[in-house]
Chains A and B, each alone.
Chain A
Amino acid sequence: MVGNAEIRFGRNRESKQSDEFEGGLWFVRHFFEESSEEKPLPIWAPDTKRAARARALQGSQPQSLEEDVLRENTSWAAEEAQGNESLEHAFFSLDYQHVQVPFEITLWIMLASLAKIGFHLYNKLPSVVPESCLLVFVGLIMGGIIYGLNNKSPPVMDSDIFFLYLLPPIVLDAGYFMPSRPFFENIGTILLYAVVGTIWNVFGIGFSLYGICQVESFHLQDVSLLHNLLFGSLIAAVDPVAVLAVFEEIHVNEKLRILVFGESLLNDAVTVVLYKLFRSFCEMPAIKTVDVFAGVGKFFVVGIGGFLVGLTFGMIAAFTTRFTKNIRVIEPLFVFLYSYLCYLTAEMFHLSGIVAIIACAMGMKRYVEANISLKSHTTVKYFMKMWSSVSDTLIFIFLGVSTIGENHEWNWPYICFTVIFCLIWRALGVLVLTFFVNRFHINTVTSKDQFIIAYGGLRGAMCFSLVFLLPDFHRKQLFTAATTVVILFTVFVQGMTIHPLVDLLDVKKKRESAPTVGEQIHIRFLDHLLAGIEDISGHWGQYYWKDKLEYFNSNYLQKILLREYDQPKSSIVLLYEKLERKHAIELAEAGQLGHAPSHPSLLNSHRTVIADRKSEDILNPDVLKNIQEILARSLYRIRRTVPAYNRHTLPGETEPTEQAKEILILQHRSLWTEISESDTFSSRKESQKADSYSAQGDSSPKPKLCRSLTVENAEKAQELKHNRSKSVCVISPLQPSGTAWVNKKETEELTPDI
């Protein structure tokens, strides 16, 4: 703990008393890396340190620990600007040091969140100006205030805080909710842009800036090629945080979004390697060819190593959730713990942490979601979104704060050319690469898409942190200035103009309609069809590999990673259940609102329902639809108002299931009312069309089924399953009570059911 505190705050500096309480803003110093200020020791510093400090302060021998502490307290108290008396006599004392760090952190997060509320209060603002711009602006104001009050540079965001605490939640959120189908369909293109595109940009920018440095009038002769390449490596990378923030608000089509976003995530591997490579080159006296090859090899290690680490942790996480059935409350924790561990492990080995965490999230998602409960799933989703949102906001605010100050050397020619070259090389890179992609791929990238990809190459806080990690050399401030300007340019200018440009160019937008079950079925069908055709034609395309992976998954992975007695549900069934759940919730709400007061008895019991229905037997079929709707609503209500009727009483189910199954049951019950209606009232054809619950299919077998059901007993409901051989759809009710109800209707009994 102490070590951490030192690294975070002190970096092995001499500890002397801090002397401030200026304007209430002194707390910010303690959170950031400082240039020359000192800090008081946090409460967890060991006593020896305190003793040393006390000694330093008073030059006397330490006697006992208590006396030391007491003396320290008194000395601190004495030096405070407010001049408190010794602590023993104060009724009401201020001990800020005690809560300092958590207090400051919370205050910053609070500021960030309040800023967010502020923006969204005024509805029009987020559509014109992206949120990231506003946050940077707030940061700029804060920085300006701090600067104005202290007359010193405001503190700069510590790179460790960024890389270890602020970045992982965002990347985890991105990886977990990445739509895997478009991602893997476009993976070739994404990798091409991420790897080759980034390398192209790095070398392009590095060499052209070196060329600029050769011009004598700019006074930049002393910036060597290596320095320029190092700078190029950190400025060339597209930043996932910025891209996410901006592309959230412009709803472009799925493919385009995944291309830019995937690229911004995966180029981390390249950035890490190149940055470290050039940095080590800067410090080495001579560079041999071997080193260059070592660098290339290192890239594969970093990328593939990160991927493997991520996958391993993902599989372990999935395996762990297999056993969490009895402790559902901490299930979400595993998701976060394993992902974070994975990131830290990758960083520990100097592998690409981002690639690792993405691989972990994508790998474990499928199995974890099958294993954890619905509530845990919701928790995971909301916590992830919340953390990533907070991180995102904090990053942009700190970006703004850190811009102000005296860390910069404003050499305008260099800065302007940096911006220009970033744009030019990105555009060129995208053009050339897309040319190759379109030749070898069916999935062409149109020129409008290309423009958005090039224009959407935003730089952000990653570049910023990397520039502050640079070793101190005499031209570092030039680089920080250039980085700051590039980031501000991309965030403000590109961020604000991309939305009107998307509209102007009429780029294909995301289709907003809801997913349908039919589509899922057809997609799967096409997958299998294409896999088969690829087999026949001997072409090992993406469907072939996808098929192989699915086979491996279903035969090996699922057996290990999924809980045994759970049926692995296909995505079709999952989607269906999700949609039905939503539908049922809507119905329930509509039922509440539209509850007909003329049937108050319907609220109470099953029996009353039957009684009411019996009284309406004589009505003509035109009112049938109304009755069915009312019944459906009432059925749902009854289920909720009768507390004894819980999931455990449903026979025929192996374990308690979630609401979805209940809804399915509900639907089937209402389906049965449909069927029995048609039979009883001899109005087959009409009744089946009316209600939204009815299964539109072969109308002919249903009355037949119905008759067979009513003849049999409830216990014999299982026999219906054997009808499958007739290839007639059998909708067997999940519980005898449904059948019993139908039976009762037919036989006109009133035995209470539930």
Chain B
Amino acid sequence: MGAAAARPPPGLGALSDETGLSPAALMRLHERFQALDRDDKGHLSPADLQALEGLALNPLCERIVGAFFPAGAQRADFPTFARVLAHFRPAEGAPCEPGGPSSPGSKLRFVFELYDLDGDGQISYRELLQVLRLMVGLEVPDEALAAVAARALREADRSGRGTLCFEDFAKAVERLDVDRRMSIWMLK
């Protein structure tokens, strides 16, 4: 394992340009990738990620894991892994490819896509309710949760369609400084 860790993954330079992560950060990620890949398969499967006990207890576990395995794929190679995590690169500092994983707005879009499971570009009332139910647990009664979801939707929905488009979502979270929150120092 030690020898494998020292070898840089193939295509490091291109990956670095694409994601905006520095080569040092990519090396760290590669080590982590290899640590997570328990059977030394060379790629990750959902079970590998779900074996992390902290993640298993996370209410958003499936959605997060799902982000690494788009469209039902069962394997995630290192570039995919790096691309997803590149969303969490601290935005201040090095420029990257526009439209790449850590360009401004891309972080928000990543979060938006986590809400929007069916991929229609809109967060509907049901999707919001599902997320709420995941996060809040079982103790809260249905009606309260429904009322909360209704209110949240009402606050953010400016077009009156009853769903949130990306712009509505961006406006709703603009006070939260999402870009700063979604930054992991390790990826600097």
Spell out A's residues near B (CB within 8 Å): 440-444, 511, 513, 516-519, 521-526, 528-539, 541, 544, 547-548, 551, 567-570, 572-573, 576, 579-580, 664, 667-668, 689, 692, 695-699, 721, 724, 727-734
Contact B152 A517 (CB under 8 A): yes
**Taking A522-B173, A572-B136, A695-B154 as contacts, is the C-beta distance between A541 and B142 under 8 angstroms?**
no
Partner pick for A525 among B111, B126, B162, B175, CB 8 A cutoff: B111
B131 cross-chain contacts in A, Cβ below 8 A: 521, 525
Contact A570 B64 (CB under 8 A): no
Contact A699 B162 (CB under 8 A): yes
Contact A727 B185 (CB under 8 A): no
- From A440, A517, A567, name the one whose CB has the most chain B CB atoms within 10 angstroms: A517
- 9 sample A-B contacts, Cβ–Cβ < 8 Å, listed by A number: A522-B111, A522-B176, A525-B135, A532-B55, A538-B32, A541-B184, A668-B147, A697-B150, A731-B146
Q: Is the contact region of chain A dominated by helix, strand, or loop, or is it mixed?
A: helix
* Interchain Cβ contacts within 8 Å, total number: 187
Contact A729 B32 (CB under 8 A): no
Name the residue on B nearest A518 (C-beta): B152
- Could you tell me the distance between the alpha carbons of A732 and B146 in the complex, rounded to whole angstroms? 10
B149 cross-chain contacts in A, Cβ below 8 A: 697, 729
**Taking A519-B176, A536-B85 as contacts, is the C-beta distance between A442 and B139 under 8 angstroms?**
no
| B129-141 Cβ-contact flags toward A at 8 Å (1 or 0) | 1111001110110
Expressed in whole angstroms, the minimum distance between the Cβ of A741 and any Cβ of chain B is 17
Q: Tell yes or no: B120 within 8 A of A by CB.
A: no
- Could you tell me the distance between the alpha carbons of A518 and B131 in the complex, rounded to whole angstroms? 12
- Could you tell me the distance between the alpha carbons of A576 and B135 in the complex, rounded to whole angstroms? 15
Interface residues on chain B, number (Cβ under 8 Å): 66
Name the residue on A nearest B145 (C-beta): A573
Contact A533 B184 (CB under 8 A): yes
Contact A580 B143 (CB under 8 A): no
Contact A530 B182 (CB under 8 A): yes
| B141-171 Cβ-contact flags toward A at 8 Å (1 or 0) | 0111111111111111100101000000000
- Could you tell me the distance between the alpha carbons of A696 and B142 in the complex, rounded to whole angstroms? 17
| B42-81 Cβ-contact flags toward A at 8 Å (1 or 0) | 0000000100101101111100100000000000000000
Contact B136 A523 (CB under 8 A): no
Name the residue on B nearest A697 (C-beta): B125
Contact A535 B55 (CB under 8 A): yes
Name the residue on A nearest B181 (C-beta): A526
Contact A519 B136 (CB under 8 A): no
Beyond the given A541-B185, A570-B136, A576-B151, could you list 12 further A-B residue pairs with CB under 8 A, ordered by the A residue number? A517-B152, A519-B175, A525-B135, A528-B60, A567-B139, A568-B139, A570-B140, A572-B132, A572-B136, A668-B143, A696-B153, A697-B149
Partner pick for A537 among B29, B151, B160, B181, CB 8 A cutoff: B29
A697 cross-chain contacts in B, Cβ below 8 A: 124-126, 149-150, 153, 162
B173 cross-chain contacts in A, Cβ below 8 A: 519, 522
A692 cross-chain contacts in B, Cβ below 8 A: 154
Q: Tell yes or no: B14 within 8 A of A by CB.
A: no
**Taking A532-B58, A535-B54 as contacts, is the C-beta distance between A580 and B151 under 8 angstroms?**
yes
B150 cross-chain contacts in A, Cβ below 8 A: 695-697
